[in-house]
Amino acid sequence: MMELLDRIPLIIVIVACLTLGLAPFTPEPHIWEKLKMLTAGTLTRPVDIFDFFLHAGPWLLLMAKLARMGLTK
Residue 3 has pLDDT above 80, yes or no: yes
| DSSP state for residue 71 in the 8-state scheme | H
pLDDT at res. 67 = 93
Q: Is residue 36 part of a domain?
A: yes
Residue 73 has pLDDT above 80, yes or no: no
| Count of helices and strands (H, E) across the chain | 4, 0
| Angle at the Cα of 68 from the Cα atoms of 4 and 38, rounded to 5 degrees | 95
> Residues with Cβ < 8 Å from 43, sequence gap 6 or more?
34, 37, 49, 52
Q: Is residue 47 part of a domain?
A: yes
Domain that holds residue 47: 23-73
Q: Is residue 29 part of a domain?
A: yes
Report the domain count for the chain.
1
> Residues with Cβ < 8 Å from 48, sequence gap 6 or more?
34, 37
Q: Is residue 7 part of a domain?
A: no
pLDDT at res. 12 = 95
pLDDT in tens, 5-57: 899 999 999 999 999 888 888 888 888 999 999 999 999 999 999 999 999 99
